[in-house]
Structure 1
Amino acid sequence: MTELAITHIGGPTTLIEIGGWQLLTDPTFDPPGGLYRFGWGTSSRKLTGPAIAAVDLPPIDAVLISHDGHGDNLDPAGRRLLPTAATVLTTVSGARRLGGNARGLAPWATATLAAPGRPTVQITATPGRHGPPLSRAIVGDVIGFDVRWPGGSVWISGDTVLYDGLHEVAKRLDIDVAVIHMGGVRFPISGPIRYTMLARDAVELCELVRPRVVIPVHYEGWKHFQQPREAIEREFATAPAATRDGLRWLTPGERTAL
């Protein structure tokens, strides 16, 4: 059986190990304290640093970037490590901006990792919407990633709200482990508008995709994350049994076999 292990590094950043493959998601490795501007009058401060330094990572086969325009998903230190990876997968527009070894994937496009002695891994971009309807012109494109190999799968939602595109994910994919970006992101300038899922949205999503394991990420470490672990736990505590029992918290920096 192919071993799957995930290490939560902080924010949206995880190291995913699949039968010898090393995949890194949304790399953020800057120290805490910096102020990051996201455009249109929005900004946020980083509150905690990564649980693992970039220099301590193993050689990375693929970096999966849900979107390149926001510092809480790709910061300067994260950008500096991209040339060291074998490949970088992101949105089509993001690949044009990043250049180098970046490859753009439109929703439902695929890329394949293959090497002797390792399982073949298929990575499919899944749709996302980083805010309310018509927000794409402001916040840009975003994708998630379905990572699949013989006998297993991991789906990373990316920064997205719950909308019809995720219902399509539920229809198309049989998901084993779901890594869901939460945090209920919002900014004072845009009032109550949310740019990522609240815990109640994640519960509804899990009822649709029915993963065996649910791993929250993107809920801590930044000022603009509005819903911490305690709020997520309260929401999942009242969820149906299969969803409630599937919730799995990863200790930052600790490798967890799944």
Structure 2
Amino acid sequence: MPAEGPADVRVTHIGGPTALIEVAGWRLLTDPTFDPAGRTYAFGWGTSSRKLTDPALAVDALGPIDAVLLTHDHHGDNLDDAGRGLLPSAGVVVTTESGAVRLGGGARGLAPWATTTLDGPGRPAITVTATPCRHGPPLSRPIVGDVVGFALSWDGQRHGALWISGDTVLYGGVRQVADRVPIGLALLHLGGVRFPVTGPIRYTMTARDAVTLIGRVRPHTVVPVHYEGWKHFRQRRAAIEREFATAPPDIRDRIRWLPIGTPTDLRT
């Protein structure tokens, strides 16, 4: 069982998949996207999307970053030009194995269930475990590329690890998290992404998928992210909330919507 004791985490949802996580002297950034709204980004194989919303925090107002947790580097809604520009100033970049090769500069690449450790003077060590993702239907990995999530563990967590799901559909690899890592706080990437060129195929979880996953993983707190700000999301907050409203109370009570751009204290 996780050790009892204080484990407060401050999370600022900047927009899309981008969140600033502050804990025990660490400042960690997920999937940096800081370009202004208006541009259309190509994702490959005829898919694209337009960014609809500016980031809630400008990159030059972000402050120092100890580590970037990058679920994947090859889609502009997870790493855009401004986000890419800040990577050299981050202490550590953790991403997929293939992404680390593309990025260079000492980026740490992790396969699913591999780990790395963030160490710093006067701060607790954080173990980062890569968790499985599949960013589309079966057999789509050669097209959509590698993606990972991240489970972060450190001494003093009350309920379990902090989990960033990454862009993924609901499948067996994601369900493994329930069997391998107790989760306190989960940042779930939602949005039910679809593209006209590929019809009904989905590339990220829907709210219904999230309800199923929450029921299996049983995190203490769930924060939805990556459901807004881009044209390719087919299930935005209002639709997600309607689905969540029909979930059992013990699942509904775990869900916490963060105001975009406002630092919010949570517990792992």
Normalised to the residue count of structure 1, the TM-score between the two structures is: 0.98
2:105 is the alignment partner of 1:100: yes
Percent identity of the aligned residues?
67
Name the CA distance, whole Å, in 2 between partners of 1:10 and 1:19: 23
3-state secondary structure, aligned to 1:246: coil
Name the CA distance, whole Å, in 2 between partners of 1:141 and 1:252: 28
Name the CA distance, whole Å, in 2 between partners of 1:240 and 1:19: 34
Instruction: Return the match for 1:130 from 131, 135, 142.
Output: 135
Consecutive unaligned residues of structure 2, counting only runs of 5 or more, are 1-5
Residue pair 1:83, 1:101 contacting (<8 A) in 2 also: no
Name the CA distance, whole Å, in 2 between partners of 1:179 and 1:114: 23
Provide the residue aligned with 1:222 in structure 2. 230
Deviation at 1:240, TM superposition (A): 1.6
Provide the residue aligned with 1:51 in structure 2. 56
3-state secondary structure, aligned to 2:253: helix
Deviations 1:36-56 (A, max 9, x none): 000000010000010001111
Residue pair 1:92, 1:103 contacting (<8 A) in 2 also: yes
Deviation at 1:59, TM superposition (A): 0.8
Name the CA distance, whole Å, in 1 between partners of 2:130 and 2:238: 30
Provide the residue aligned with 2:3 in structure 1. none
Deviation at 1:119, TM superposition (A): 1.5
What is the count of residue pairs matched by the alignment?
A: 258
3-state secondary structure, aligned to 1:66: coil
Q: CA RMSD in A?
A: 0.8
Provide the residue aligned with 1:144 in structure 2. 149
2:91 is the alignment partner of 1:86: yes
Provide the residue aligned with 1:162 in structure 2. 170
Residue pair 1:128, 1:161 contacting (<8 A) in 2 also: yes
Name the CA distance, whole Å, in 2 between partners of 1:101 and 1:158: 22
Instruction: Return the match for 1:176 from 169, 177, 184.
Output: 184
Consecutive unaligned residues of structure 1, counting only runs of 5 or more, are none
Deviations 1:131-180 (A, max 9, x none): 00000000000000001111322100000000000111110010000100
Name the aligned partner's letter for residue 104 of structure 1.
Answer: G
Deviation at 1:2, TM superposition (A): 3.6
Instruction: Return the match for 2:241 from 213, 227, 233.
Output: 233
Deviations 1:192-240 (A, max 9, x none): 0000000000010000100111100010000001101111111111112
Name the CA distance, whole Å, in 2 between partners of 1:197 and 1:3: 27
Normalised to the residue count of structure 2, the TM-score between the two structures is: 0.95
Name the CA distance, whole Å, in 1 between partners of 2:125 and 2:137: 36
